[in-house]
Amino acid sequence: MLVYILRRVLLGLSVLLAAIVATFCIFFLGPSDPAGALCGRQCTPDRIVQIEKDLGLNKPKTEQFVTYTKGLVAGNDLGGKKCDAPCLGWSYVQNRPVTDMVKQAFPVTVSIVIGGIVVYSTLGILFGMIAARFRGKPLDRVIVGVSQFVTSIPYFVLAQLFFLYAMVYYGLIPRAKYTSILDNPFTWFTGLLGIWLFYGTVLSANYVRYVRASMIDVQNQDYIRTARSKGLGERKIAISHALRAGIAPFLTLLGLAVAAELGGAIFTERIFGLQGMGNLALTSFDTSDLPVIAGVVVVGAVIIVSLNLLVDLLYGLVDPRVKLS
Amino acid sequence: MSLGAGTEATMVADADERAPGPAPREGKSPTQIALERLRKDKVAIACLFVIGFFVLVAILAPVLVSIAGVDDQLHLDQVNPLTGLASFQSNADHPFGVKARTGEDLFYQWAYGARPSLVVGIAASALTMVVGVTMGLLAGFLGGVVDTVVSWIVDFLLSLPFLLMAIGIVPIALQRFGNPDSSGFIEEGRESTIRFIVLICVLVLFTWPTVARLIRGEVLSLREREFVQAARSLGMPTKRVVMRELLPNLTGPMIVNLTILIPAFIATEAGLSFLGVGLKDPTYSWGQTISQGVTFFDSYPIWMWIPTISVSLLVLALSLFGDAVSDAFNPQTRR
Amino acid sequence: MRWTTVVALATAGTLSLAACGGSGSSGTNSNNDAGASNTALGDAYEKVPASAGQRPDVKGPAPEIAGAKKGGTLTFNSDVTPESTDPSTQYYQDTAAIMKLTTRTLTAYRMEGGKSVLVPDMATDLGQKSKDGLQWKFTLKPNLKYDDGTPIKASDVAYSIKRSFATEELPGGPTFQIDYFKDGDKYKGPWKSGDTYSGVEADDAKGVITINLARKFETLSYFASFTMFGAIPKAKDTKTNYQLKWAATGPYKVQSYTKGSSLTLVKNTNWDAASDPARHQYPDTIQFNFGKDAATTAKAIMADNGIDQTSLTYDGVNAAVLQQALGAKRKQVASGPSNCVNWNGSTMDVNKIPLEVRKAVAAAWPIDQIHQAAGETPFDYSPGGTIGAPQVPGFTKFNLPEFPGKGQGDPAKAKAMLQAAGKLNFELSYYYSNDDEAAKNVNKVKVAQLTKAGFKVKAIGVSKTERRKKVRDPKAPVNLGQGVNTGWCYDWPQGDSIYPPLFNSTLPNNSGAGNIRDKALDKEMADIANLPVAEQGAKWTALDKKILQKYVPLVPNAYSKGSMIFGSKVHNVVIDPNQGIGDFPSIWVG
């Protein structure tokens, strides 16, 4: 067991390191002009050189990479600008540590994802089980049909329409607004409820079919047949055996959903006007604020890697069919 | 988001495939049995018609636009210079209306927009399957170091946030492969070709790991099955074991995955174009048109709705068809 | 001022940056006419009182606005996120407008019936200059306080100015102080060079700030309205973090600020209305939300439900609500001249394009088509055929026949001119952003028209980022649209903030407009700049005409406008023509 965990952790770390290298290569070796973006209108070549020097852009790329990685672990002192560990770099545009900006955006995205997952797993499991139970019947067809339909429409169109009609024009659902849960749990809840409902419902459309398929799959397994032959009731089987097996893929999906949301947040946050990681990245693209984008990517990779690790470990605890080896 | 939908859809297939592929019986391969079942599925046939329609639109785009008598030029005179909008939604000259401000014809963009959607969907998913299946087979069958390396690459690629990486990679690839002249000049046609290729590569790069992971799992379980064990103990060469025994049994999952990937890629292309990293003028795409038209959905609805409905319909048809295929291969999942 | 806004105009349509949006004529209506704000479209520049000028004798408080109510919450939503809110370095129209609420400066603009007038703010007057013009003294009004009740000292103002020299720690701010102040090029701010700087001195006992100059700076009174001329208590300075929590001296103070997301301002009880001629304190709370999609914000405000009734945006009039803004909802739009003039990429390298050809380009230039393709609306511009903006005091608006500042251009005439000069098929080459929808459309228009006029056109599509680099590249192998190519926003309403930064021969290649290399012109500009401010306007007008006719370095396309849209319970939104954005402290809700 310990060996297994250790091996998974090491694997995760190596993946993470590679992700940092890849991020650095893509975002710092590519064509961009952060000095020009900062220099402004009365920009002389001298000033560009000065800014590049200030930002350390004139140094060899390898040295920049070492500085970057060192900053992640031990913090940095960038030309008099103190950047504590884990230092994700310094935002050219906003003139402050990227870590601070990510710290500020992170809870927003996490709040959206967590609430969304609660909604989507509730709806998904509920309707998925119903559909599986009434397999082939009209109810099953309706559930599957609706979920197919919803997933076919581009998400950003749905989100835009939902936002304008439900929140702005008719005010059916409170306007999305983020307050920290630490400041005021109530406004945190009401402010994000609309997004959770929307995001969770749309996501659950996918999940319904997934739950349905895995329930049907599980019901055909030998140990369920055994349970049935022992005379256990259908409902009890569904809840105690089948659902338990269904949780394992749910965990996988959880990891994937978080990964997808880290990207998908760009749409959700952009359209609903919330300042999470996605919006942070998008704004930074507009201003060529590369360290910020790279920071978001690195943090995203850290989250995905650790979630996958967690899922792998939980998998073994939950699913009777999986053995840690 | 669209990608999320795609990846999860792939996972649906994963669950479907957990049931072992039916062993050959009555001399018919699993594929033949499945095709037979499919032929009797009314929904599948209806979906085929819808898909066929859009394929025809894509192929016949030049003919369609010349019948409609529209072009890709600016028609500044078609719109009110003050509001920037045309006074009509649809008329004989411009059946799907014109864009705000520039007066570019939307029928033209719709007809030609069908092409990239389909090409991206089909080309990217075919490539994804080739790479994914190859890697999955290698890892699953050879095991050992190869398995470790492939699995590590899979883990690595899946740990990168896809959308952000895509946004970052596109401009870099343009710069690298666009062969700009001394003044940075890249021909417009060339640029859009590069964007097209880069888009497909990015989609493949970040999706093959999912497929590889799935196939690897399949191979691992097949490897232990009696017929493979038997073939190996009889001294059949590895190549033949793979070609004769493994691949035919993987056809089901592969086809199912293909039908899931195509609509997912089409939706992803739309999403990327919405963010401005997908395809660009003069390569028209529905995603692009939607993203431009979405702000005008109340004052000039036809702009957004035609491509939205088209994408939705195509994706719906493809994924229903995919379900039908999946059912055909795994009859116990339905009915 | 604030270069990014010009960029914004050029890229209108995508993520439009703050300020250069806008319509009509804030000047035509009385700005005290609450609610019924000024949306008459068309060329209203003639109606704008031409001379804003300076009024050194004005005392506080600011005259009450008729009908204005106190209380309530005012909400601003914007797509644009302020990059720096550090008073020493902020350099943007939107940030300046926001900080006017919290930060008093030595001098300030105040709105007087559509005119924007420079008045003394923290200082008792607009500065006293020495005979040789190389030393300026500003005296603080007595009993000025920070929001925590501690007194504002002259040395705090000096400290704020000194911080602006620390371009390494706090980059991105204005740089006039470095050019004009004594030893400005040597002093590197209080952290690197220490507190003592001969350019800025303070006498706390008398409340006097003394500024020593390296060369004459007749328009320093205007420059003193920048937030770097506010006050920063040294003890509370947190260097790069000061932008997150700054001491307030104006009618509002920061309650909370989440950079990139939201800013909440509440009343500052230690603000003394009686000493402040430029600000009011009407709403109880002012809320700013940043990074809000412009189209949805605009639709929400026009829908006018709930909180949107007391909301407004300075993102201009989004295309999504244009029809409403022109029709039923025109009362929810405020629009007026901004400090920008627009020439839409028409800068011509005078060393590469012969004069005759430049004239032909001017004749062919498709002004109206460019506006339309770029998505610029009557809320963004009005016709304009000069380099300077007409609201500059003393400037007289004129129209040369060769530079109508509007119209579709005449390709046939241009072709004839080319033929006459024997330059048919002359190659024009320029960069455009191929990752921007509006820029691409504009390019299509230009290529079509210029080709029709007998030019050979080489349009080079590059990314926005790449283009920003290329247009400044001194060695770029193109001849059109280089340097300050989209237009110019002046930093203060006088010619020294317009012409020398564009046409001085000492500018590096492609850093100004047209690369004119004429020492005589340099001297002419320097001479005008050294005149007393009141005498300059007329001279600059003549120079404007001369530059256009003699050098043809660019084709003026339009005067830019600033526009804001607001809910039905927001009142007295007036565009400050010197800022191109509303005067926030005058707005009330109810």
* Per-residue pLDDT at C156 exceeds 50: yes
Which CATH number goes with the domain that contains B193? 1.10.3720.10
Structure token pair of residue B124? 């990217």
Chain A residue with the nearest C-alpha to that of B298? A161
User: Would you say residue A44 has pLDDT above 70?
Assistant: no
Interface-testing mutation among C330, C371, C372, C478, with chain B (most B C-beta atoms within 10 A):
C372
* Closest-CA residue to C335 (of C95, C116, C577): C577
Q: Does B316 touch chain A (CB under 8 A)?
A: yes
Same domain, A51 and A154: no
Residue A27 lies in a domain: yes
Specify the 3-state DSSP secondary structure of C181. Answer: strand
By three-state DSSP, how is residue A48 classified?
helix
CA distance B185 to chain C (A): 5
Please answer yes or no on whether B83 and C322 come within 8 Å at the CB atom: yes
Distance from CA of C216 to the nearest CA of B (A): 41
Pairing of strands C285-290, C73-78: parallel
Least confidently predicted of A14-28, B162-176, C357-371, C467-481: B162-176
Per residue, the 3-state secondary structure of A115-127, as one string, reads: HHHHHHHHHHHHH
Percent of chain C having pLDDT more than 70?
Answer: 91
Q: Looking at A98, A118, A135, which one is the last position of a domain? A: A98
Prior bond of A86 cis (ω within 30°): yes
Cβ–Cβ < 8 Å for A155, A267: yes
**Is the bond leading into B307 cis (omega within 30 degrees of zero)?**
no
Which of A38, A171, A273 is the closest to C171 by Cβ?
A38
Burial (CB count within 10 angstroms: exposed 0-12, middle 13-18, buried 19+), residue A36? buried
Interacting residues of B171 by C-beta distance below 8 A, sequence separation 6+: A30, A31, C435, C463, C465
| C33/B contact by beta carbon, under 8 A | no
Q: What's the pLDDT score for residue B220? A: 82
* Pairing status of strand C311-313 against strand C73-78: parallel
Report d(CA C33, CA C25) in Å as an integer: 14
Cα–Cα distance list, C487 to C20, C68, C344, C477 (Å): 11, 37, 7, 21
CB contact under 8 A, A152 and B308: no
Q: Which two tokens stand for residue A33?
A: 């002009």
Task: Examine the pLDDT at A233 and tell me if it is beyond 80.
Answer: no
Pick from C77, C168, C175: which is nearest to A79 by CB?
C168
- One domain for residues A106 and A242: yes
pLDDT band, very low/low/confident/very high, at A29 (cuts 50, 70, 90): low
CA dist A201 and A123 (Å) reads 7
User: pLDDT (tens digit, 9 = 90+) per residue, C73-116?
Assistant: 999 999 888 878 999 988 888 899 999 999 999 999 999 887 88
Structural domain count of chain B: 1
Nearest to A40 among C172, C243, C303 (CB): C172
Chain A residues whose beta carbon lies within 8 Å of the beta carbon of residue B169: 26
- Interface list for B 221-250 with A (CB within 8 A): none
Structure tokens belonging to residue C483: 């340097």
A75 and A157 inside one domain: no
Q: Are C377 and B82 inside 8 Å of each other by CB?
A: yes
Say if B71 falls within a structural domain. Answer: yes
What ipTM was reported for this prediction? Answer: 0.77
Q: Is there a contact between A305 and B287 if contact means CB atoms under 8 Å apart?
A: no
Q: Which SS3 state, helix, strand or coil, does residue C333 take?
A: strand
Q: Dump pLDDT digits (tens) for A300-324.
A: 888 888 887 887 777 666 655 544 4
Q: Rounded distance, CA B268 to CA B206, Å? A: 12
CATH of the domain at A207: 1.10.3720.10
Among B8, B42, B296, the strongest candidate for a mutation testing the A interface, having the largest count of A CBs within 10 A, is B8
Q: Is A95 on the interface with C (CB under 8 A)?
A: yes
Q: Are A265 and A255 in a shared domain?
A: yes
pLDDT for the residue numbered C19: 31
Domain boundaries, chain C: 10-290+561-589, 344-366+409-556
Beta bridge partners of C427: C456
Q: Which helix (H) or strand (E) holds C138?
A: strand C135-139
pLDDT in the model for residue A74: 77
Answer whether C372 sits within 8 Å of B81, measured CB to CB: yes
The stretch C406-433 carries a mean pLDDT of 94
C-alpha to C-alpha distance for A258 and A265, rounded to whole angstroms? 10
Q: What is the pLDDT of residue B331?
A: 62
Which of A168, A175, A279 has the CB atom closest to C291's CB atom? A279
Name B190's Cβ contacts closer than 8 Å, sequence gap at least 6: B178, B179
pLDDT at C419: 95
Residue C382 CA to residue A7 CA, distance in Å, equals 68
CB A273 within 8 A of CB C292: yes
Locate C14 and state its tokens.
């995508």
Contact C375 B295 (CB under 8 A): no
Q: Look at A154 and B311 and tell me if their CB atoms are within 8 Å.
A: yes
CA distance C297 to A175: 12
Residues A114 and A186 in one domain: yes
Q: How many Cα neighbours within 13 Å face the side chain of A119?
A: 20
CB-CB contact of C588 with C283 (8 Å): yes
Residue type, B61: A
Task: Report CB contact under 8 Å: C172, A168.
Answer: no
Q: Which of residues 110-169 of A touch C (CB under 8 A)?
A: 160, 163-164, 168-169
Q: Is the pLDDT of residue C253 over 80?
A: yes
Euclidean distance between CA atoms B152 and A201, whole angstroms: 34
Nearest Cα residue in chain C from B102: C373
pLDDT in tens, B11-20: 334 434 344 4
C459 by DSSP, 3-state: which?
strand
User: C157: part of which helix (H) or strand (E)?
Assistant: helix C154-163
User: Residue A214 falls within a domain, yes or no?
Assistant: yes
Residue C337 scores a pLDDT above 50? yes
Which of C560, C568, C581 is CA-nearest to residue C37? Answer: C568
Q: How confident is the model at residue A210 (pLDDT cuts 50, 70, 90)?
A: confident
List of chain A residues whose C-beta atoms are within 8 Å of the C-beta of residue B54: none
- C375 to chain B, closest Cα gap in Å: 6
pLDDT at A156 over 50: yes
Q: Is the pLDDT of residue C164 over 90?
A: yes
C444 at interface of B, judged by CB pairs closer than 8 A: yes
Q: What is the pLDDT along chain B (335 residues), one digit of tens a residue?
A: 333 333 333 333 443 434 444 444 456 777 788 788 888 888 889 999 999 999 999 999 999 999 998 988 888 888 888 888 888 888 888 999 999 888 899 999 999 999 988 888 889 999 999 999 999 988 888 888 998 899 889 888 887 878 777 777 776 676 666 655 544 555 666 777 888 888 888 889 988 998 898 888 888 878 777 777 788 788 888 778 777 777 777 877 787 778 778 888 888 888 888 776 777 767 888 888 888 888 888 889 999 999 999 999 998 998 888 878 877 876 654 43
C169:A44 CB<8 A? no
Q: How many CA atoms lie within 13 A of A249 on its CB side?
A: 27
Q: Could you tell me the two tokens for A225?
A: 């047949």
**Structure tokens belonging to residue C140:** 């603080």
3-state SS class at C582: strand
For every residue of C500-520, DSSP letters joined together read HHHH-TTSPTTSSSS----HH
Per-residue pLDDT, averaged over C182-209, amounts to: 94
Asked if residue A170 and residue A58 are part of one domain, the reply reads no
For C501, name the nearest residue in chain A, comparing CA atoms only. A42
Residues C518, C528: Cα–Cα separation, whole Å: 16
Q: Looking at the partner chain, which of A95, A101, A175 has a beta carbon nearest the beta carbon of C171?
A: A95
Chains sharing 3 or more CB pairs under 8 A with chain B: A, C
Strand-pairing partners, residue C429, are: C458
Tokens standing for C289?
């939300």
Q: Which of residues 475-494 of C touch B (CB under 8 A)?
A: 476-478
- Per-residue pLDDT at B66: 92
Q: Across the interface, do B158 and A304 touch by the CB < 8 Å criterion?
A: yes
In a domain, A13, yes or no: yes
Q: What is the pLDDT of residue C29?
A: 31
Contact B185 C445 (CB under 8 A): no
Tokens of A130: 């119903």
| Single pTM value for the model | 0.84
Question: Residue C570 is inside which H or E element, if any?
Answer: strand C570-571
Highest averaged pLDDT of the listed ranges B203-212, C348-357, C453-462: C348-357
Picking from C299, C322, C441, the nearest residue to B102 by CB comes out as: C441
Indicate the pLDDT class of residue C450, thresholds 50, 70 and 90.
very high
Which has more confidence, B220 or A261? B220
pLDDT of residue C44: 43
* Per-residue pLDDT at C517 exceeds 70: yes
Q: Inform me whether the pLDDT recorded for C449 exceeds 50.
A: yes
DSSP code of A175? P
Looking at residues C219-245, what average pLDDT do you find?
93
DSSP characters over B71-101: -SS--GGGB-TTT-SBS-S--SS-TT-B-TT
Average pLDDT over residues A189-206: 87
Please give the backbone phi and psi of residue C462, each rounded to the nearest 5 degrees, phi first. -135, 170
| CA-CA-CA-CA dihedral for C157, C162, C163, C167, to nearest 10 | 150
Within a domain: residue B123?
A: yes
Residue A3 banded pLDDT, cuts 50, 70, 90 = confident
**Subunits with at least 3 CB pairs below 8 A relative to chain A?**
B, C
Strand ranges for C449-523 from DSSP E: 456-462, 487-489
C317 Cα to chain B: minimum distance (Å):
11
Which residues on B lie below 8 Å from C329 (Cβ)? none
Tokens of C137: 């003294």
**Per-residue pLDDT for C123 more than 90?**
yes
Residue indicated by tokens 């017929």: B227
Rounded to whole angstroms, how far apart are CA atoms C539 and C529? 10
Chain C neighbors of A90, CB-CB under 8 A: none
> Total domain count for chain A?
2
Task: Write out the residue range of the structural domain in which residue A103 sits.
Answer: 99-318
For residue C305, list chain A residues with Cβ-Cβ distance below 8 A: 168-169, 171
Inspect the interface and report whether the beta carbons of B84 and C372 lie closer than 8 Å: yes
Among A98, A113, A132, the domain boundary falls at: A98
CB contact under 8 A, A275 and C466: no
Reduced to 3 states, what is the DSSP secondary structure of residue B11? helix
Q: Does B24 reside within a domain? A: no
Which pLDDT value is given to residue C21?
29
Residue A192 falls within a domain, yes or no?
Answer: yes
Chains linked to C by 3 or more Cβ pairs within 8 Å? A, B
Residues B43 and B86: their CA atoms lie apart, in Å, by 40
pLDDT surpasses 60 at C14 = no
| Contact across the interface for A45 and C508, Cβ inside 8 Å | yes
Contact status, residue C571 vs residue C34, Cβ threshold 8 Å: yes
Percent of chain C with pLDDT over 90: 68
**Nearest CA to A39 among A80, A93, A101?**
A93
* Superfamily of chain region C10-290+561-589: Periplasmic binding protein-like II (3.40.190.10)
Return the bridge partners of C249, or none. Answer: none
**Chain B closest-CA separation from residue A293 CA (Å):** 8
Same domain, A49 and A107: no
3-state secondary structure of C424: coil
Report the alpha-carbon distance of residue C118 to residue C126 in Å, rounded: 8
Q: Is B35 on the interface with C (CB under 8 A)?
A: no
What CATH number has the domain spanning C344-366+409-556? 3.10.105.10
Sequence-distant (6+) residues with CB within 8 A of C365 are: C346, C409, C449, C555, C557
Neighbours of C115 (CB within 10 A): 22
Of C589, C588, C574, residue with least CA distance to C109: C574
Pairing of strands C427-433, C487-489: unpaired
Tell me the mean pLDDT in the region C19-25: 30
Domain range holding B192? 29-329
C434 to chain B, any CB pair closer than 8 A? The answer is yes
Chain centre distance of CA B315: 9
Q: Looking at the structure, do residues A116 and A16 belong to the same domain, yes or no?
A: no
Q: Which of A98, A130, A153 is the last residue of a domain?
A: A98
The string of pLDDT tens digits covering residues A122-137 is 898 889 888 888 888 8
B59 is a domain residue: yes
Predicted local confidence at residue B82, as pLDDT: 82
Range in A148-162, B186-200, C389-403 with the lowest mean pLDDT: B186-200
Q: CA of B240 to nearest chain A CA: how many angstroms apart?
A: 30
Query: What are the chain A neighbours of B290 within 8 Å (beta carbons)?
Result: 154, 156-157
Chain centroid, CA C27 distance in Å: 18
C541-555 residue pLDDT tens: 999 999 999 999 999
By Cβ distance, the residue of B4, B168, B320 closest to A27 is B168
How far is A53 from chain B, CA to nearest CA, in Å? 23
C409 pLDDT band, cuts 50/70/90, is: very high
Contact pairs from chain A to chain C, CB under 8 Å: 111
Q: Give residue A317's region: left, alpha or beta (phi > 0; psi -120 to 50).
A: alpha
Query: Contacts of residue C170 in chain A, CB cutoff 8 Å?
Result: 95
Rounded distance, CA B186 to CA B196, Å? Answer: 15
pLDDT > 80? residue C333: yes
Q: Is residue A324 part of a domain?
A: no
